[in-house]
Structure 1
Amino acid sequence: MSFAKSLAVATLTVALAAPALAQQMPQGGPPSAQDQVAQLGELIELEAGQEQELVALLTDSQERIQSLQADAQSVQMQLQQSIGHDYDEAAIRQDAERLGELTGEMTAESVLMQSRLQATLTQAQRDELERQVQERQEQMRQMQQQMQQQQQPAQ
């Protein structure tokens, strides 16, 4: 499986869990790592050891990403406060560079998390997950086509 395809499958793995979790989760707040792993377990059969490993992996990665997001929000606020007639170009550029670094770190952490998730699954599980992702993509494509057809005026 190519890296891009593997990345897409991993990304969609977490995305597939979102609709069902949104119905189950209380208002305000992302699903927990345990909830995400439980949803993944509904899509593909996970062994107990895999569940524990995935929960630990997701928890650790989510904590790092949340910390980076908090830092990025702080830098964004600093940048907003820099707007004005008495601006400091050097400070703005320094904050913008830091924001870029934080964004890069968040991206790297996300890709690493997805890669680690893939490495935890067996080939059969990855194949099944990819099959389900393709099936869901096809369903989404069909729904989009139906919506477009419904929006077109009658001739």
Structure 2
Amino acid sequence: MKLTKFLATIALTLGIVGVASAQQMQAPPQGDQVDQLDQLLDLDENQQQEIRSLLDEAESQLAPKEQEAQALQARLGDYVGPDYDEDLIREDASRLGDLTGEITAETVLLQSRIESVFTDEQRQQLDEAIAQQQQQMQDLQNQMQQQEGQPAQPAQ
């Protein structure tokens, strides 16, 4: 549950896609992120500025790592073939794994730093919004499962 809450928090507050598969993280422009948080949590000016600063810092640290991860993924794809070099594959795969860990750690740290900017009341509001979003997702999944179980309606 804690991991689910964390992932939902990231998705809700930052729009960041997880990096478990070491794919490049995509985030909406920072103004959009801070504006969304402001609408949800009624941030004061200092909070907005601090979050913008945290996002700027994280972007400068993550961008080169994300680019390197993408390059490694592409290079690993190029290695596929009958004349493969196992040592090169393992070396690049190991580096990709290291990068994935670094990116994941930076993402978790960013989320923690952002949450430390919030007041207790704002954290509670965020938890409630996450719970509501999770319930909506569950309802949607249930609805889709029910529709899959029903025969298709013929076109009229």
Same fold (TM over 0.5): yes
Task: Decide whether the 8 Å contact of 1:9 with 1:133 is kept in 2.
Answer: yes
Q: Distance in 1 between matches of 2:83 and 2:118?
A: 55
Please state if 1:79 is matched with 2:76.
yes
Please state if 1:150 is matched with 2:144.
no
Secondary structure at the aligned position of 1:46 is classed as coil
Task: Decide whether the 8 Å contact of 2:30 with 2:55 is kept in 1.
Answer: yes
Judge which range, 144-153 or 120-129, deviates more: 144-153
Question: What is the Cα deviation at residue 40 of structure 1?
Answer: 0.8
Relative to 1, partners in 2 of residues 1:16 and 1:145: Cα closer, same or farther, differing over 3 Å? farther
The residue that corresponds to 1:31 in the other structure is 28
Task: Decide whether the 8 Å contact of 1:79 with 1:92 is kept in 2.
Answer: yes
Letter in 1 for 2:104: T
Question: What is the Cα deviation at residue 151 of structure 1?
Answer: 3.0
Q: Distance in 2 between matches of 1:15 and 1:152?
A: 35
Relative to 1, partners in 2 of residues 1:6 and 1:52: Cα closer, same or farther, differing over 3 Å? farther
Equivalent pairs, count: 143
Question: What is the Cα deviation at residue 39 of structure 1?
Answer: 0.6
Question: What is the Cα deviation at residue 3 of structure 1?
Answer: 6.3
Give the RMSD, CA atoms, in angstroms: 2.6
- Structure 2: tracts of 5 or more residues without a match: 18-25, 152-156
Q: Distance in 1 between matches of 2:65 and 2:27?
A: 16
Percent identity reads 38
Task: Decide whether the 8 Å contact of 1:17 with 1:40 is kept in 2.
Answer: no
Relative to 1, partners in 2 of residues 1:95 and 1:34: Cα closer, same or farther, differing over 3 Å? same
Higher fraction of helix: 1
TM score, norm. by length of structure 1: 0.79
The residue that corresponds to 1:134 in the other structure is 131
Please state if 1:120 is matched with 2:117.
yes
Please state if 1:98 is matched with 2:86.
no
Relative to 1, partners in 2 of residues 1:145 and 1:87: Cα closer, same or farther, differing over 3 Å? closer
Q: Following superposition, which runs of at least 4 residues in structure 1 exceed 6 angstroms of deviation?
A: none
- Structure 1: tracts of 5 or more residues without a match: 19-28
Relative to 1, partners in 2 of residues 1:15 and 1:60: Cα closer, same or farther, differing over 3 Å? closer
